[in-house]
A and B are shown apart, each in its own frame.
Chain A
């Protein structure tokens, strides 16, 4: 059983700052990871996926994966109030077992 841990937050950052969201996982066999964003009352929306060690950048978002440390993170640069949501991490591989999610609050 895959286990995923995230700090539930809330993580509060000022507008324009970098938000750093972290996720650790227990299954050393996990090969891929997905970050979803979920606004209150809405469904999860895919933000990023990452399969290889290192960084992957997409616009203001950067995912970082360190398989040796069993750690994956999501950086959001130039944070906006519209980024305020819960961010869910999940290892891939058929069954998505989500972490508890980190609630991000970006204040003006």
Chain B
């Protein structure tokens, strides 16, 4: 089973709202990722958690705050977002072998975020 789940599927929020995106996997993977994808562009990496510790932050604005409560869960807390943050937010997980060739990432279905 290579399933990564994400909730909610769609989210509409105002610029003053606080919301959270949730990602879950039960494959025993130890690395989890957040990507942002704008229309007609490839996914862009935001954060990487490895063994529940933040290992990569791709200079993401502080209005995006990731959290990894345990090895199966990954959250993305959103606060004071801008309309240009509207995008598809993708979560992925992998075994967590880092730079080794076999570390394959599996993606969840994504959350479509609209910021008004």
Which residues on A are within 8 Å of B, measured CB to CB?
31-32, 34, 36, 42-46, 49, 51, 88, 92-101
Contacts and interface: CB of A to CB of B under 8 A. Distances in A.
B45 interface: yes
Interface of A is mostly: loop
Contacts of A98: 42-43
Interface in B58-116: 88, 90, 92, 98-110
A92 B103 contact: yes
B56 interface: yes
B107 A95 contact: no
Contacts of B32: none
11 contacts: A36-B107, A42-B110, A43-B88, A44-B90, A93-B99, A94-B56, A94-B103, A96-B45, A97-B45, A98-B42, A98-B43
B5 to A, nearest CB: 11
A28 to B, nearest CB: 15
B21 interface: no
A95 B33 CA distance: 9
A42 B105 CA distance: 16
A94 B98 contact: yes
Contacts of A36: 107
A43 B88 CA distance: 9
Chain A CB within 10 Å, residue with most, of B45, B98, B101, B109: B101
A42 B102 CA distance: 24
Given A43-B109, A44-B90, A98-B43, 18 more contacts: A31-B101, A36-B107, A43-B90, A46-B105, A92-B104, A93-B98, A93-B101, A93-B103, A94-B48, A94-B98, A94-B99, A94-B103, A95-B45, A96-B105, A97-B45, A100-B41, A100-B42, A101-B42
